[in-house]
Amino acid sequence: MGIAPESWPAPFRTLIRTSNKYLLNPLMLQLAGRRHWYASVIEHTGRRSGKRYSTPIVADQVGEDILIPLPYGTQVDWVRNVLTAGHATLISKGRHFEVDSPELIDSTQALPLLPRERRHTFERVSIGHFLRARIVA
């Protein structure tokens, strides 16, 4: 079993994802997106419900793009919502960004774009995929 949750057995991964969704994420949302906090918030619309959701994430600005590591893989709800909608709002370091043109990229494309320290962190925990989106406003 690797370090990245994406590589964990499905029942364990489901348990962790559910715990994060209902316990950790609501707590993280109290601080995520603030100026001096490491976590950001992505606001997205449910692809079936049309409801607006906020999810805490880690995001790095690289030029005119945002790179978001996907430790739980590419099939989590928020990723599917953003890909379906084609846009989202990112709150990071106290600033709001509108992003569009989301796409999934693998670590071989994403890691060279990141600062050395971040690259090494994501390599150590075996992050395999990232979501890249373009900042439009």
> What's the pLDDT tens digit per position in 5-27?
667 677 877 788 788 888 899 99
Bridge partners of 65, per DSSP, are 62, 134
pLDDT of residue 107: 96
pLDDT of residue 54: 97
pLDDT of residue 6: 67
Q: What is the dihedral of CA 55, 89, 111, 105, to 10 degrees?
A: 90
Mean confidence (pLDDT) of the chain: 93
pLDDT of residue 5: 67
pLDDT of residue 16: 80
Low-confidence spans in the chain with pLDDT less than 50: 1
DSSP for residue 25: H
Q: Are 133 and 101 in contact (CB under 8 A)?
A: yes
Tell me which fold the domain 5-135 belongs to. Pnp Oxidase; Chain A (2.30.110)
Residue type for position 39: A
pLDDT of residue 60: 97
